Structure 1
């Protein structure tokens, strides 16, 4: 069955950010637990942390912000962390890399409850230039130390204590400093990406109708632990005074659902445009630090990833979500890799009268293999592409000896940080828009999966997919 009339929603632009946070690695879920068990772990972590310049010159990060393409990355010698790109810049074609100093200023500027306190001398020397006139709470070093001796989390720049992060309601575990820091980091980084997107589009914040956040956080109190609404907090921070918003959750598949939901709101006429945003996951910093320390390599999970995408009504020739191609992983489907490929690739393509070979590029979970392989997690993108290729062989779309070529030409190497929602397909959107506009590809199928079973409410997996192509209507 072929859909008679394609339904297009324009993708006006995308902006990606990577925020370097080496001194927050210790507060990631895995490192914090290991440090609590053995204080010596902190010293091991600190010895393997990267400098900001090394993070900027790391080739996968340059792909993430659009300075080089995934195809160019595949041709570079490895290990990428040992062969940095000399002269690389922190600003790319569709994104930027943010320093930790700037992150601290962003956190302070995004704070509405006096949770962040910066050391006054450090702020005057370093932080003030990033504050953009925002009111920042600053205190003396002695006062900062006193806060940290109680309930506050210390903020470091190397060995220097430069701030503290506290709570204003210690009685609620859901408002504990570590939880609030995780949530504020998501808000601040997402707001930064949305601001960058609006600047790149020369669009006023007041012109945004609706914001959907697909960040990995749970904002709430003891009576409603995941109540939200981070999207509206981000909209407020960026000055989107006419916008409202809501949060969309589906583990790693969240961004894909958010894109479909946003496109549907526009198609139905409820709003004119939607900004889909996501902030970084502090909890995922240093997840695989043990294998990196053991391998005497830098701790590569020192980056908070964030992005913002602007959707609007259909425009002739514009790269667009083909809304009628959207597919979901139903309850009745199994969670095997083949079942995922069938329901998120084969069946939606067949509905459009397409085969596997009619898709020029597949965007899947684009985890950087230099992060995952040393820990035994394997090369996630390559595994996914091999699964798609195997199913294409089973359906007679390609021959078995063409599997490797299928994976190489229609797939790509992974380059995104292991931030869960960040590598899940949408991290390729900027490159896809460029390739579509240049006529290098006709389309891209975006596929993301979510591990719902991690939340202990179901054994199910989840997933969502959609086709992106130029509006030929």
Structure 2
């Protein structure tokens, strides 16, 4: 039995003050060179919420524009205004910083988040008006504390400040006096990840049209680590986010694999459903404050706005085959194994051509590939180039080598089988999964038949191994087999049983005669 994708949710949170105060490029600079020209110039390059709303890649991310429409817009995009600037899209929403700080407090179950009472009074109504936020979440937000008390906690008690328009409006307290894993800095990072995951979960419940009680298992695949000095990264983001989102019948666990984690999680979700262990599994991930403004120095140097001002999140619903929704084909899995090595050709071969060869398919039999979907508007000025395009060129080169396309068609491949990147540089967020929502729609509409999601990761960042990582999986249009097998109504079942019982009784009578 193949699992299917019933829906996908994508959310962004505009966090300009977190760029200044929580992004590691900025926090490191503040330690190493506190009087740097970069820190002085940076505030002039911060975007307003309205500017973030009208940014083309952001509107694509929440589903108001398509990757195809984005590809038709000349790069760079940061100097252009999208004709749609709605904060709500078919996949999710773009939340302003003020609402998000309140959502963070609702996700805090240990009374560690303190917000200025004037700030709470000013923005509580805005969060309550959000169609995804229910009374249970609002009930978790208190009236706030005196602003002077917040300032004292930051100045004297190692609390991490929360800012809005560069004004201190709250703080996150440390959860332990000496445990660095429970420091105010780490708690803030974890609450941001949790709160953005909650928003993604609420979004996918709506977009998939499911009831919260249907969700039986949640897998979190973000990049943060939740634990204390005795079990760093022990978890569990999945269950903690499910609690706030109201998924009362769900349990769950975390999957960690750097940028490859979402693909690992999707495969595990599909396998859990296909095995019958759970009927409905949701893969989710919140965003990462550390990567805010990560390439800020290069952007400021070139006179560009800070485009890494968005915390990202996503969620995908995986359910039992309904005969309609696109299937996850677990027989077409790509694996970067321990013995694969890190040579680019070896990596792409293990993730792309190896699974296709096992199925007797060509590279061109995949309609669309979704590898690392980073926004080139962000990466090109930083010297990293167009990451998705680089991946497509490698896949195309393999296709030429295998005789599946002509060398003259090399540059056509990215257009025909690729996508223009639109995801924020939030590490795991761009890794293949931003396309799942669009892929599901295109598969349902019959525009395409197969897509391959490719997740790649850099395990060497953890200083435990020099190994690279990666997995891939294929989503395909539904074969309809389950519909044929499962398309019998309850009334028909009762009728068949009654008929069988009648025939069985007649047989017994004839034997008695």
User: Is the shorter-chain TM-score for this pair beyond 0.5, marking a shared fold?
Assistant: yes
Q: 2:146 aligns with which of 140, 149, 171?
A: 140
Contact 1:114 1:137 (8 Å CA) reproduced: no
Aligned to 2:89: 92
**Secondary structure at the residue paired with 2:195?**
helix
Contact 2:53 2:87 (8 Å CA) reproduced: yes
Distance 1:106 1:224 in 2: 27
Q: 1:63 aligns with which of 22, 47, 60?
A: 60
**Secondary structure at the residue paired with 1:322?**
strand
Q: Deviations over 1:264-287 (max 9, x none)?
A: 111111111101000001111111
Q: Deviations over 1:338-385 (max 9, x none)?
A: 111111110101111100111111111000011111111111101000
Contact 1:116 1:137 (8 Å CA) reproduced: no
- Comparing 319-328 with 128-137, greater Cα deviation is found at 128-137
Distance 1:123 1:137 in 2: 6
Distance 2:187 2:251 in 1: 22
Aligned to 2:80: 83
Aligned to 2:34: 39
The structure that has the greater radius of gyration is 2
- Comparing 269-278 with 72-81, greater Cα deviation is found at 72-81
Q: Residues 175-324 of structure 1: matches in 2 within 5 Å?
A: 175-324=182-331
- Give 1:148 shift: 1.2
Are 2:100 and 1:103 aligned? yes
Aligned to 1:442: 449
Distance 1:444 1:23 in 2: 38
Q: Residues 334-345 of structure 1: matches in 2 within 5 Å?
A: 334-345=341-352
- Give 1:137 shift: 5.8
Q: 2:114 aligns with which of 117, 126, 143?
A: 117
- Give 1:305 shift: 0.6
Are 2:416 and 1:409 aligned? yes
Q: 2:378 aligns with which of 354, 371, 374?
A: 371
Contact 1:63 1:70 (8 Å CA) reproduced: yes
Name stretches of at least 5 consecutive residues in structure 1 with no aligned partner. 1-6
Distance 1:197 1:118 in 2: 28
Distance 2:345 2:444 in 1: 32
Q: Deviations over 1:178-210 (max 9, x none)?
A: 111111101000011101111233322222100
Q: State the aligned residue count.
A: 467
Contact 1:328 1:343 (8 Å CA) reproduced: yes
**Secondary structure at the residue paired with 1:307?**
strand
Name stretches of at least 5 consecutive residues in structure 2 with no aligned partner. 129-137, 482-513
Q: Residues 422-441 of structure 1: matches in 2 within 5 Å?
A: 422-441=429-448
Aligned to 2:134: none
**Aligned Cα RMSD in Å?**
1.3
Distance 2:56 2:376 in 1: 13
**Secondary structure at the residue paired with 1:203?**
coil
- Comparing 439-448 with 251-260, greater Cα deviation is found at 439-448
Distance 2:473 2:75 in 1: 32
- Give 1:226 shift: 0.9
Distance 1:87 1:436 in 2: 25
Distance 2:90 2:437 in 1: 9
**Secondary structure at the residue paired with 1:466?**
strand
> What stretches of structure 1 move > 4 A for 4+ residues in a row?
none
